[in-house]
Amino acid sequence: MTYAYDDQNVFARILRGEIPNATVLETEHSLAFNDIAPQAPVHVLVIPKGPYVCYDHFAAEASDAEIVDFTRTIAKVCEMKELAADGFRMISNAGAHGVQEVPHLHVHILGGRVLGRMLEKA
Ligand code: AMP
Do residues 115 and 89 make contact, with C-beta atoms less than 8 angstroms apart?
yes
Q: Where are the domains of the chain?
A: 10-111
What's the pLDDT tens digit per position in 1-36? Answer: 899 999 999 999 999 999 999 999 999 999 999 999
Residue type, 30: S
* Residues with active-site annotation: 106
Provide φ and ψ at 120, rounded to 5°. Answer: -70, 150
User: Is the whole-model pTM more than 0.95?
Assistant: yes
For atom 13 of ligand 1, which residue has the closest CA? 35
> Domain 10-111 has what CATH class?
alpha beta
Task: Please give the Cα distance from 91 to 56 (Å, whole number).
Answer: 13
Task: Please give the Cα distance from 117 to 54 (Å, whole number).
Answer: 23
Task: Give the position, in ligand 1's atom list, of the atom nearest the Cα of 91.
Answer: 3
